A and B are shown apart, each in its own frame.
Chain A
Amino acid sequence: MFVVALVSGIIGALLGLGGGIIVVPALTVLFGIDIHYAIGASIVSVIATSSGAAVRYIRDHISNLRMGMFLEVATTTGAITGAFVGAYLAGATLFFIFGAILLYSCVVMVQHGRMEQASMTGALDPEVLAEMPDDQKSLGRRLARRLHLDSQYYDAALKREIGYRVQGVPLGFVLMYIGGMVSGLLGIGGGALKVPAMDIAMRVPMKVSTTTSNFMIGVTAAASAGVYFSRGDINPLIAAPVAIGVLAGALLGAHLLIRMRGGLIRQIFVVVLVITALEMFLRAFGLGV
């Protein structure tokens, strides 16, 4: 269980997923643990991933604190909605929703990967970007300027500063509400929806998407964790090895992300999502192990 949690922490920190997508199926499929406890433990793992990795991301300024905090308003509201709806849904329904959401995310992420390669607009030199004309009229760009969402970070893999302008702010905000709801429903950080939302709607670089998602999932999960804890869904014997393993994994994952290229992170992200989506569909139709 500790090893599963360790792997989950590494992948979660790297992909901004919180690792819930690994912890929930692993606990239910491999260890035969009840879905309620699995979700409770994964909520804990999400927070552990977020805090463990954030120690590193804060120092290196990869995550976008302002964007994260702004979107967090949508996401925490969604999380409350989800946590309460979840108590009234059957296990199979949850698995099906989970799978469908993941599969949808994959499709869009692959599409966007191709777009990014074709146009090369994803990552720009900050000085070049500052010279480029900005869209003065669109609501998304007006909001992005008002909220100071544009930023830049130092990419250790590319060995240069990467500047970016945030697009599609209203759409991103709505998607974040849905992401928060999914998180509250399923005990995953909702990163599976947050990363694509930032990637596709808001056009921020892949590393910024995953690290900002990483920041947000911890806060969102904390909103749900109180609900789960008092409901008795967080079983100490299950949550303890998960928390410790994930903390250790998150530190390793954060270390890896800083040195990896955004394109590679995107590819791993899509692969992990496809596998998990298939697992969830199997469970939904009662074919799981």
Chain B
Amino acid sequence: MSTLPPEHEPAPEGAASQTPENADAPTSSTPGGEGNTSQTAARGGPALETVLGWILRVGVTASAVLIVAGVVLFFFTGSTGYSGSLNNLDSLVYYSQSAGDRFPTTPGDVFSGLVGLHPYALIALGLLVLIATPVVRVAASVLLFWLERDGVYVFLTLLVLFILIISFLLGKAV
């Protein structure tokens, strides 16, 4: 791998293709997990690892805030913003195939519901942000592997992303 440090000792034949962090990370790392800075360096992307962590934090926080805001608004107004209210909770959890009129089921519904500040639209947006976070994470990984010049993984990650997009499209078609 191109990220091998120059002072790295040649590995024995049997382990020639171990990942670099396998061979050069110190065994006497400081406790608590912070001793992994050598691994971060070996993977060539401390900045991108940080970007991945940042994407996760933003996605998780944003979705949590939106969902909580939606729930608060629901109990405050007593209405879902759709055909349901706080007074008939049973009808809200009753399952039916035609759920579309009781809560938003497409991103379009969600955004049109946001205009009217419907509580369910806020919750649904939070849920959509949550669902999108792993997808954004995979997309960012493409960049991570590309900067590491790891062509195999750029391909594999793009393939995963492609399958994810296909599945979204297939889901809509049902």
Which residues on A are within 8 Å of B, measured CB to CB? Answer: 33-34, 36-37, 44, 47-48, 50-52, 54-55, 58-61, 65-66, 69-70, 72-73, 76-77, 79-80, 83-84, 87, 125-127, 129-134, 136, 145-148, 150-154, 156, 159-161, 163, 218-219, 221-241, 243-244, 247, 258
Q: Which of A51, A61, A150, A235 contacts B134 (CB 8 A)?
A: A51
A235: chain B residues at CB < 8 Å are 92-93, 99, 103
- Chain B contact residues: over half helix, strand or loop, or mixed? helix
B52 contacts A by Cβ under 8 Å: yes
Task: Please determine whether A156 and B32 come into contact, CB atoms closer than 8 angstroms.
Answer: yes
- Chain A contact residues: over half helix, strand or loop, or mixed? helix
A48: chain B residues at CB < 8 Å are 60, 130
Give, as a whole number of angstroms, the nearest-CB distance from B87 to chain A.
13
Give, as a whole number of angstroms, the nearest-CB distance from A68 to chain B.
10
Give, as a whole number of angstroms, the nearest-CB distance from B30 to chain A.
9
When chains A and B are docked, how far (Å) is the Cα of A255 from the Cα of B39? 20
Assess A76 versus B22: contact at CB under 8 Å? Given A60-B33, A243-B63: no
B19 contacts A by Cβ under 8 Å: yes
When chains A and B are docked, how far (Å) is the Cα of A218 from the Cα of B152? 22
Assess A129 versus B134: contact at CB under 8 Å? Given A34-B93, A154-B29: no
B135: chain A residues at CB < 8 Å are 219, 222
Closest chain B residue, CB of each to CB of A58: B53
Q: How many residues of B contact A (CB 8 A)?
A: 81
B112 contacts A by Cβ under 8 Å: no
Q: Which of A61, A80, A151 contacts B163 (CB 8 A)?
A: A80
| Contact mask for chain B residues 111-150; partner A; CB cutoff 8 A; 1 contact, 0 none | 0000000001001101110111111011001000000001
Task: Please determine whether B127 and A236 come into contact, CB atoms closer than 8 angstroms.
Answer: yes
When chains A and B are docked, how far (Å) is the Cα of A160 from the Cα of B31? 8
B79 contacts A by Cβ under 8 Å: no
A219: chain B residues at CB < 8 Å are 134-135, 137-138, 160, 164
Task: Please determine whether B67 and A243 come into contact, CB atoms closer than 8 angstroms.
Answer: yes
Task: Please determine whether A60 and B120 come into contact, CB atoms closer than 8 angstroms.
Answer: no
When chains A and B are docked, how far (Å) is the Cα of A221 from the Cα of B132? 10
B77 contacts A by Cβ under 8 Å: no
Q: Tell me how many residue pairs across A and B have CB atoms closer than 8 Å.
A: 233
Q: Which of A54, A133, A146 contacts B14 (CB 8 A)?
A: A133
| Contact mask for chain B residues 50-68; partner A; CB cutoff 8 A; 1 contact, 0 none | 0011001101100110011
| Contact mask for chain B residues 160-174; partner A; CB cutoff 8 A; 1 contact, 0 none | 100110111011101
Q: Which of B17, B33, B64, B99 contacts A232 (CB 8 A)?
A: B99
Q: Which of B22, B29, B94 contacts A151 (CB 8 A)?
A: B22
A60: chain B residues at CB < 8 Å are 33, 36
Assess A44 versus B131: contact at CB under 8 Å? Given A129-B15, A131-B12, A240-B123: yes
Task: Please determine whether B103 and A51 come into contact, CB atoms closer than 8 angstroms.
Answer: no
When chains A and B are docked, how far (Å) is the Cα of A80 from the Cα of B67? 27
Task: Please determine whether A232 and B160 come into contact, CB atoms closer than 8 angstroms.
Answer: no
B31: chain A residues at CB < 8 Å are 156, 159
Report 29 cross-chain contacts, Cβ distance below 8 Å, ordered by A residue.
Answer: A44-B127, A47-B133, A51-B137, A58-B53, A59-B33, A72-B160, A73-B159, A76-B164, A87-B174, A126-B22, A126-B23, A132-B15, A133-B14, A145-B17, A150-B17, A152-B21, A161-B25, A219-B164, A222-B133, A227-B171, A227-B174, A230-B174, A231-B174, A233-B99, A234-B127, A236-B120, A237-B74, A237-B92, A237-B93
